[in-house]
């Protein structure tokens, strides 16, 4: 009985997570799960984004300093709003767990989420007006490019299919592979910016319609006996936005390829790796084994023989993992196509997936994890006991219902 209640509770959290994520627009989120997301990071303009906007406009150091001062006040207000939301969320969660009344939690979170959204939107509107007032006449003429970038920040972070939430221009900026002074690159980048913005306008419209339906469902509460019916209804509501997300994914892929074709081989490799990470964060993020191999090579007392063994081990592991990662990512995309995108896959997982040998994603993930364990054991066998104690501890991976459709941003502020 408890496992059923726990699973149902997690399903409720999944629905509420999606409601809040769609409300937020999920810009550069440091999502840590619905149980404790950084709502300020999700809903406000980050320092990273701010710097990119100022760069687009060609701000002077003096203008940038004034902008940062405005931003500090804006972020302070955002933090206060997020803290209030977090407090209400924790209280609702506590009461739901004590009373086993998840329906009541849904009503509270729907109300608090709407309140947070209204406050954050008003705060952002005022900040952007103040931001624009700092512009010269020439800079103000470039303001539409900032508005387009902000829409990408807002709506290209929650991906309802893998790859829909990838901003390929941001990927190039992050990897320092964006080409400057190259007319062909600039032309492709501008085409992407305009085409993706048209689709994001449609996405925003459909998202608002869907959000209203989700909020109504949350306000009506949740009934354990109708959990599957509720999830089916949620997936039906999501169909239009999954269709647009699929179109966004295809556009991202097309322009990622076009931009990569213009880059040097070294830059292309870095850029494609970033796009892969943001398309499938669970698959391509640095594994504990990778971190351990890298850390081992930095040990001060490593012998030449040990170093040679570990370098060979790392090279072989990277090659083997690449093939398994490709298999894993492909299985995920096939599963999404069959189950209505990332949210459909997530809810299917909560309800219980297929058995071993019948679930390609589970089997592919297990194959990668088996490789990780084998290589880590071999690494430990090469090291002394004292050296093994210096390897990094495994990171905790808390329950996070949004991890499948949101990229974690550890440095978003």
The SS3 call for residue 341 is helix
The SS3 call for residue 158 is strand
Q: List, run by run, the mean pLDDT of 10-residue segments along the chain (413 residues).
A: 46 51 42 42 80 94 96 91 85 78 70 83 94 97 95 83 92 94 96 96 84 67 61 74 92 98 97 95 93 96 96 97 96 89 68 62 95 97 96 76 51 43
Count of CB atoms within 10 A of residue 273's CB? Answer: 13
The SS3 call for residue 30 is coil
Domain limits, the chain: 286-388
Assign 3-class secondary structure to 162-219: CCCCCCHHHHHHHCCCCCCCCHHHHHHHHHHHHHHHHHHHHHHHHHHHHHHHHHHHHH
217-274 pLDDT, tens digit per residue, is 666 655 555 666 766 776 777 788 889 999 999 999 999 999 999 999 999 999 999 9
Count of CB atoms within 10 A of residue 353's CB? Answer: 14
Q: How far apart are the first and last CA of the chain?
A: 42
Q: How far apart are CA 28 and CA 25, in angstroms?
A: 9
- Assess contact for 377 and 9: CB atoms under 8 A: no
- Assess contact for 158 and 27: CB atoms under 8 A: no
Q: How far apart are CA 132 and CA 145, in angstroms?
A: 12
CA atoms within 13 A on the CB side of 78: 24
Distance of CA 256 to the CA centre of its chain: 18
Q: How far apart are CA 220 and CA 255, in angstroms?
A: 42
- Assess contact for 149 and 56: CB atoms under 8 A: yes
Q: Could you tell me which residues are beta bridge partners of residue 5?
A: none
Residue 63 sits at φ, ψ, to 5 deg, of -65, -40
Would you list the DSSP string of 93-138?
Answer: HHHHHHHT-HHHHHHHHHHHHHHHHHHHHHHHHHHHHHHHHT--HH
For residue 380, the surrounding DSSP H or E stretch is helix 360-382
For residue 224, what is the DSSP state? G
Q: How far apart are CA 244 and CA 202, in angstroms?
A: 8
Cβ-based burial of 330 (10 A; exposed 0-12, middle 13-18, buried ≥19): middle
For residue 367, the surrounding DSSP H or E stretch is helix 360-382
Q: How far apart are CA 81 and CA 142, in angstroms?
A: 31
The closest of 58, 46, 113, 44 to 84, measured between CA atoms, is 113
The closest of 2, 42, 32 to 412, measured between CA atoms, is 42
Q: How far apart are CA 324 and CA 370, in angstroms?
A: 11
Q: How far apart are CA 270 and CA 254, in angstroms?
A: 17
- Assess contact for 282 and 404: CB atoms under 8 A: yes
- Assess contact for 45 and 125: CB atoms under 8 A: no
């Amino acid at each position: 009985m408890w496992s059923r209640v726990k699973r149902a509770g997690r399903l409720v959290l999944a629905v509420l997570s999606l409601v809040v994520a769609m409300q937020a627009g999920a810009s550069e989120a440091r999502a840590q799960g619905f149980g404790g997301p950084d709502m300020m990071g999700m809903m406000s303009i980050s320092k990273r984004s701010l710097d990119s906007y100022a760069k687009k406009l060609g701000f002077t150091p003096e203008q940038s300093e004034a902008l940062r001062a405005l931003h500090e006040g804006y972020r302070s207000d955002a933090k206060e709003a997020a803290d209030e939301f977090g407090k209400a969320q924790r209280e609702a969660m506590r009461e739901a767990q004590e009373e086993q009344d998840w329906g009541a939690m849904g009503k509270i979170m729907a109300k608090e989420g709407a309140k947070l959204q209204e406050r954050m939107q008003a705060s952002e509107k005022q900040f952007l007006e103040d931001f624009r007032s700092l512009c010269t006449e020439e800079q103000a003429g470039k303001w539409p490019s900032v508005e387009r970038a902000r829409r990408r920040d807002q709506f290209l972070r929650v991906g309802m299919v893998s790859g829909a939430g990838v901003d390929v221009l941001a990927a190039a900026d992050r990897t320092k592979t964006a080409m400057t002074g190259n007319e062909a690159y600039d032309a492709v980048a501008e085409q992407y910016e305009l085409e993706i913005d048209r689709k994001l306008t449609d996405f925003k419209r459909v998202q608002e319609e869907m959000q209203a339906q989700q909020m109504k469902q949350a306000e009506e509460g949740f009934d354990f006996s109708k959990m599957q019916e509720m999830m089916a209804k949620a997936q039906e509501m999501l169909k239009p936005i999954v269709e647009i997300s699929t179109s966004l994914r295809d556009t991202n892929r097309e322009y990622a390829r076009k931009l990569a074709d213009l880059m040097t081989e070294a830059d292309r490799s870095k850029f494609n790796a970033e796009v892969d990470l943001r398309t499938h964060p669970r698959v391509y993020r640095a594994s504990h084994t990778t971190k351990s191999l890298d850390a081992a090579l930095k040990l001060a007392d490593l012998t030449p023989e040990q170093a040679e063994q570990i370098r060979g081990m790392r090279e072989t592991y990277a090659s083997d993992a690449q093939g398994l990662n490709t298999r894993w990512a492909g299985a995920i995309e096939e599963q999404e196509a069959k189950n209505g995108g990332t949210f459909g896959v997530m809810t299917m997982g909560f309800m219980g997936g297929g058995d071993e040998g019948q679930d390609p994603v589970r089997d592919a993930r297990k194959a990668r994890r088996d490789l990780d364990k084998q290589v880590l054991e071999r690494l430990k066998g090469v090291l002394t006991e004292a050296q093994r104690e210096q390897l990094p501890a495994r990171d905790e991976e808390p329950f996070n219902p949004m991890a499948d459709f949101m990229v974690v941003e550890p440095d978003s502020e």
